[in-house]
Structure 1
Amino acid sequence: MAVSFSDLHTEAGLKSLEDYLSGKTYISRDQLTRDDIKVFAAVLGKPGDAFPNASRWYHCVSSHLAARFPGKAAGVRTGGQAAPAEDPKKDAAEGDDDDDLDLFGDETEEDKKAAEARETTKASTKKKESGKSSVLLDVKPWDDETDMKKLEEAVRSVQKEGLFWGASKLVAVGYGIKKLQIMMTIVDDLVSVDDLVEDHLTAEPINEYVQSCDIVAFNKI
């Protein structure tokens, strides 16, 4: 139920609130709702003795908010309005996190979408802040008859989030055997080099070409 009153900064406005609260504990009679919070935000301070109903109501709402949000009751925001804060500088320093307070668990679709957007932004930021590493691998074939072109194609076929293959070259080992040296860049939080080698590079079907893999260099970027 949406309830509105005339200017609550004036005596006439407080009188209308006083009359409305006659026989009621809250705006919606017996239960504290968003209407109480919105009206509370519009009242400059506790009504005087000339308005006993409004004064009693103001005390009840203030006590509820103080218990639920210690130290922040005077600055709780609702629907874009804010009750007068005791210390504006302190409220400004604390930020506007209270804009999204769901005082009564009555979350709207807009609230849910805003919350999801914040979570997505946090996750994206976390990924951007994750460290990266540059890794040089030695990939060794079974013998001199291994097709090194197919070996490299098999290695590069491994695709994972946070894995980026770089330059490569063939290096002679001896007895006509060559090994593949290949660079890769990884996002540390997303890729484990040990798991990459064990679960992919030396597992089927790539192990048809690859005998073993060694980490030659591992450097944080």
Structure 2
Amino acid sequence: MAVTFSDLHTEQGLKTLEEHLAGNSYISGDQLSLDDVKVYAAVLEKPGDGFPNASKWYDSIASHLAKCFPGKAVGVRVGGGVAPSEEAPQTEAPAARADDDGIDLFADETEDERKAAEEREAAKKDTKKPKESGKSSVLLEVKPWDDETDMKKLEEAVRSVQMPGLTWGASKLVPVGYGIKKLTIMMTIVDDLVSVDNLIEDHLTSEPNNEYIQSVDIVAFNKI
């Protein structure tokens, strides 16, 4: 640039720009150039009525940028350099080429905007991720009606109860006395899916399983 403009957000800086544009249509003369876009990006807002030349120049550059980016007069990258913008940041846009002067203009995504976009994506993933429910290991004690109860069929009746979140484990017969044995059996449950109380009342000790099962007690209940 032939002229260096500093502090374009101050009245003195705008005065320097106004004086320069008094004899020029654009920063570097009579043709739009890279310098115009850089200076435009450095001006915080359109100069007021006290700067007619700068105001007319500002409108001209804004109009030119609007042709490349309708509704997006924002910070641009020009020929490898980045011109800062005080306008609201926009997401990155494809390159656009001005019809007459061959300047490539790109909308720049700010660091804050990229960070916000990453946080939104992370939030979406969190909401889509299924919540992991806790599990428990439960030891049940299943008692028959008497010594004539078929314990094999009793165990089959217990294991016949199937539902989401319920997995039956190891079992064994334990002598009680007078020829009577009880069944002890392990099971693993997903806490949010299986209620042990309901399992016992609604399935194990109700028809048809109550033909073999007299009662069921919880011997141990441990969170996994």
TM-score, normalisation: structure 1: 0.53
Which ranges of 4 or more aligned residues in structure 1 deviate by more than 4 Å? 75-79, 118-121
> What is residue 168 of structure 2 aligned with on the other side?
165
Change (3 A) 1:187 1:98: closer
1:74 equivalent to 2:89? Answer yes
> Is the contact made by 1:77 and 1:98 (CA closer than 8 Å) also made in structure 2?
no
> Is the contact made by 2:171 and 2:185 (CA closer than 8 Å) also made in structure 1?
yes
How far residue 91 of structure 1 moved from its aligned partner, in angstroms, is 2.5
Give the superposed CA RMSD: 3.8
> What is residue 149 of structure 2 aligned with on the other side?
146
> What is residue 134 of structure 1 aligned with on the other side?
137
> Which AA in structure 2 matches 1:217?
A
> What is residue 188 of structure 2 aligned with on the other side?
185
1:58 equivalent to 2:61? Answer no
> Is the contact made by 2:72 and 2:90 (CA closer than 8 Å) also made in structure 1?
no
1:196 equivalent to 2:199? Answer yes
TM-score, normalisation: structure 2: 0.52
**Distance in 2 between residues matched to 1:89 and 1:120, nearest whole Å:** 23
**Distance in 2 between residues matched to 1:139 and 1:196, nearest whole Å:** 13
Gaps of 5+ in 2: 1-31, 34-56, 74-87, 95-105
How far residue 132 of structure 1 moved from its aligned partner, in angstroms, is 1.1
Higher radius of gyration, 1 or 2 = 2
> Which AA in structure 1 matches 2:89?
A
1 or 2, which has the higher helix percentage?
1
> Which AA in structure 2 matches 1:50?
S
> What is residue 69 of structure 1 aligned with on the other side?
none
**Distance in 2 between residues matched to 1:135 and 1:214, nearest whole Å:** 10
**Distance in 2 between residues matched to 1:172 and 1:164, nearest whole Å:** 25
**Distance in 1 between residues matched to 2:145 and 2:202, nearest whole Å:** 18
> Which AA in structure 1 matches 2:118?
G
How far residue 216 of structure 1 moved from its aligned partner, in angstroms, is 0.3
How far residue 209 of structure 1 moved from its aligned partner, in angstroms, is 0.7
> Is the contact made by 1:172 and 1:178 (CA closer than 8 Å) also made in structure 2?
yes
Change (3 A) 1:59 1:133: same
**Distance in 2 between residues matched to 1:59 and 1:120, nearest whole Å:** 33
How far residue 201 of structure 1 moved from its aligned partner, in angstroms, is 0.7
